[in-house]
Amino acid sequence: MAERTGAGDRPYAVGLTGGVGSGKSTVAGAFAALGTPVLDADRAARAALAPGSEGLAEVVQAFGRGLLRADGGLDRATLRQRVFADAGARRQLEAIVHPRVHATLTGQLHALAAPYALLAIPLLRETWPAYAWLDRILVVDVPETVQRERLMQRDAIDAGLAEAMLAAQAARAARLEVAHDVLDNSGGLSALRARVAALHALYLRLAAARS
């Protein structure tokens, strides 16, 4: 892991990641309910491509004005279809979005006054080692069959696009190899909340030990 420079002037940082459809948002919500600040990479990515932003201007330059809705916003469904069908286009988009997301998250983290914060980063493994400075990594894990079913239901997409989205992400084994903690989210909500409560207590202890 990279050296964690400047760790003393920011909260203890826990990266939350997992494959698409693993239930990361549910886990993040359970931590938030316990008072943990949650910094959301997906929200930062949406802001990076908001109407009038430099990020959106770069996307239009790279992919054309056909990706804009009538109101000037980004047609995210069309963009998703395009980048998941073309690995080169996906890398081009990531080069625009990921540095902006990283800058937003690190800025938000340093502005917090809290023992620890959770950074929800779906593509943490894919953007490694940009986040190697994180103090700890929690991976939400479910079998790939569960991911596929949840993804198709959540986004109302067909099996082909679901498979493309899964294939575009890091392999399950690659995520697990960087994990300090693994949360199995294939069970019920009560089991998940109990596991989150135990992890919350652990992270508070680790944060206190660091200080």
- In this prediction, residue 1 carries a pLDDT of 32
Separation of alpha carbons 105 and 120, rounded Å: 10
Instruction: Report the top-level CATH class of 11-37+112-210.
Output: alpha beta
- In this prediction, residue 169 carries a pLDDT of 80
| Segments of the chain scoring below 70 in pLDDT | 1-8
- In this prediction, residue 7 carries a pLDDT of 63
Buried b vs exposed e over 12-38: b needs ≥16 C-beta within 10 Å? bbbbbbbbbbbbbbebbebbeeeebbb
Q: At what angle do helices 159-168 and 76-85 cross, to 10 degrees?
A: 70
Strand order in the sheet with 38-40: 38-40, 116-120, 12-18, 136-141, 181-184
- In this prediction, residue 2 carries a pLDDT of 35
- In this prediction, residue 208 carries a pLDDT of 96
- pLDDT tens for 9-64 read 899 999 999 988 888 999 999 999 999 999 999 999 999 999 999 999 999 999 99
Residue ranges of domains in the chain: 11-37+112-210, 49-100
The number of angstroms, rounded, from the C-alpha of 123 to the middle of its chain's C-alpha atoms is: 5
Q: pTM for the full model?
A: 0.85
